Chains A and B, each alone.
Chain A
Amino acid sequence: MAIASTGDPDSELVRLAREGDRSAFNALVTKYRNRVLGIAARMLSDRAEAEDLAQDVFVKAYRSLRDFHGNALFTTWLYRIAANSCLNHNQRLKRQRRFTEAAVDSEIAGDGALDPHGLLEKKQLKALLEGAIRSLSEERRIVLILRDIEGQTYEEIAECLGIELGTVRSRLHRARAEVQAIIRASAATPKPISVAS
């Protein structure tokens, strides 16, 4: 079946890949590997696991290319595979070991303590943000990642995750509010000031 022309910038590469052109598929992997890895790394706690999962996402995509008919953007389809893979992975992980929020909280508190005077180092702030994102529930986290990091539209997120638009809006709203609250709380926590005698 021909790929529908939907203005997808990847449609030509996808068509060639569907016809068995491995180099075209490799080009797609090269183009989106960091973004898929970004989703995986923020959804999973372990970097090595994230990389492994990101590779698996592309393997699944390669084997499912025949099922991709171009009704959506390739990125939406790819992110859907990535999101589902991450969620499934975490569910399996949860069954195997208890994933405590406390561990994450302590990591955030340790890494992202704010300067009492609001002079946040950029690196500190990014570490704080990463911790805050990880502290979100999976449902909210994936919506936040897809929207604020990957720039997907509400509709694409809804299609990607198979949820309603209203659900996307509410989850995104909660996720942002939580992250903001975490940053605010960290900024309000005073660091001990050493007084020189």
Chain B
Amino acid sequence: MNCNEAKELYSDYLDRRLTPFQNVLFREHVDGCAACRQDVANLQRTVDLIGSLDEIEAAPDFLAGVERKIDGRWGRLRRALFEPLKIKIPLEAAALLLVGSLAVLVYHRSSDQEYALVARMEQQSPRATVSPEMAEKKAETHTDREARQGYAELSRERLEKKSEAEPRSPAKGDSLSAQAPNPPLDMIAPEPPAAIAPAPPRPATPPASQPAAPPVTAKPASPPASSPPAARMAPPAAGDGALGRALQAPAAKPSASMGTTLEQSKRVETRIFPVPQIIEVAADQPEPVGNRVRSLVPEMGGKILNETATEGGLTISIELPESRQTEFATALEKETGAAPAERPDAFKMPDLLSGERSVARSRSTEETSLQKGTEPAEKQDDPVVTFEVRIQPKK
């Protein structure tokens, strides 16, 4: 073995990686070669020095850094919640809790939204069902500010109506009794038509203050136009037929003959129902107009409730879908043959939703009415309103 061959084995020799045969040859050469022996010694020293290099100390937060990297952003929180050393919260339990909380939240929210919806409906329609007490309570407790305001207004309105209605409602025959809450229509229904006594005739003469009578005038029963809507939505006065009498029955004292239960009495207190309106028609010959009414009502999806012959005239109680009332009045008006110039600019008709509403008699309205005439009249969500058409001979 020469020096070059020996040099290739220095490292293996130091690590005792030489085969026994290589080892013998290497030792023979090194023993006889001072330079190689020195080189081996130097290399051994170098290796020892390398092995003695100081250990590099990691920073104190090294482990924390590793944990941060492993866990990510929310890892510590997750581990704190779900991985305590002794008590581990099962993931399923956590999921169940979460689902339960969500369900409660959704239920609570939907309940509030429902009340808010009812409040809005109340603002738009007096026939929705919220008692003053409920409205007052929701005005205080509702989580939604807008809904609270809505309920507060509603509560005030209901209380005003209630205070106005309560002292007058028992007085039968009182002209203001029309403002009292009326029993629902379903309370009227059980009364058989045969039991309805013919109503005493009512003077058909319009009030003297009324302007030149249009051929067809739908007007409130008693109060002036400046009255609040509730006052204008007046039923006929006492004695105007069985329907009128039934509607005038005090809400707080429903008669047993009407089959009213305690629960129905409560409903009477908290619900407001439509009242019959009066449409007065002055005609030279009442009978053809009456015939037209009889034919128009079924066409409009309504029905004839009662007919009463009056002095030279005729009173027909009818039921109509609310959406057809304007159409009906317009059609009836056309039947009278009155020219538009003879009447005010707008045909005034009491509206059950917003008091008195002006219905412009435009061509488009008439066209719309005609189109509507082809639709099925009875719709489930279309409320029914009651009218009395009083046809009087012209004087």
Contacts and interface: CB of A to CB of B under 8 A. Distances in A.
Interface string A163-197: 00000010011001101100110000000000000
Interface string B42-68: 110011011101111111001101110
Contacts, number: 90
Contact of B53 (A29, A51, A147, A149): A149
B58 A37 contact: yes
B73 interface: no
A46 interface: no
Contacts of B57: 34, 37
Contact of A133 (B50, B58, B63, B85): B50
B151 interface: no
B174 interface: no
Interface in A46-82: 50-51, 54-56, 58-59, 62-63
Interface in B82-123: 83, 85
B12 A169 contact: yes
> Which of B10, B46, B47, B54 has most A Cβ within 10 Å?
B46
A55 B66 contact: yes
Nearest to B42: A180
B15 interface: yes
A58 B51 CA distance: 24
B34 interface: no
Interface of B is mostly: helix
A85 interface: no
Given A169-B11, A173-B11, A176-B43, A59 B69 contact: yes
Interface residues of A, number: 40
Interface string B234-245: 000000000000
Contact of B65 (A26, A55, A179): A55
B55 A34 contact: yes
A129 B50 contact: yes
A154 B15 contact: yes
A56 B49 contact: no
A177 to B, nearest CB: 8
A37 B56 contact: yes
A89 interface: no
A151 B49 CA distance: 13
Contact of A62 (B15, B62, B70): B70
B148 to A, nearest CB: 51
A58 B83 CA distance: 21
Contact of A55 (B50, B69, B83): B69
A63 to B, nearest CB: 8
B8 interface: yes
Contacts of A63: 70
A187 B321 CA distance: 114
Interface in A12-42: 22-23, 26, 29-30, 33-35, 37-38, 41
Contacts of B49: 125-126, 129
B333 to A, nearest CB: 85
A54 B17 contact: no
A63 B17 CA distance: 36
Contact of B66 (A29, A34, A126, A183): A29
Interface string B1-34: 0000001101110010100000000000000000
A148 interface: yes
Contacts of A62: 66, 70
A22 B75 CA distance: 12
Given A54-B58, A169-B11, A149 B50 contact: yes
> Which of A50, A55, A151 has most B Cβ within 10 Å?
A55
A13 to B, nearest CB: 14
Contacts of B79: 22
A2 to B, nearest CB: 23
Interface string B253-272: 00000000000000000000
A176 B53 contact: no
A3 B377 CA distance: 82
Nearest to A148: B50
Contact of B8 (A55, A133, A173): A173
Nearest to A38: B56
A173 to B, nearest CB: 4
A115 interface: no
B51 A149 contact: yes
Given A129-B50, A176-B11, A59 B66 contact: yes
Given A29-B63, A54-B62, A154-B17, A176 B47 contact: yes
A133 B17 CA distance: 23
B63 A30 contact: yes
B42 A56 contact: no
B50 A51 contact: no
B11 A172 contact: yes
Nearest to B48: A148
Contact of A35 (B47, B55, B67): B55
Given A26-B63, A29-B66, A51-B58, 20 more contacts: A22-B67, A26-B67, A34-B58, A50-B56, A54-B58, A55-B62, A55-B65, A58-B66, A59-B69, A62-B66, A62-B70, A126-B49, A126-B53, A126-B54, A133-B50, A144-B50, A147-B15, A149-B50, A154-B17, A177-B43
7 contacts: A37-B56, A37-B58, A41-B56, A54-B58, A55-B65, A129-B49, A177-B7
Question: What are the 8 closest A-B residue pairs judged by CB atoms, nearest first?
Answer: A173-B11, A148-B50, A33-B58, A38-B56, A59-B69, A58-B66, A180-B46, A37-B58
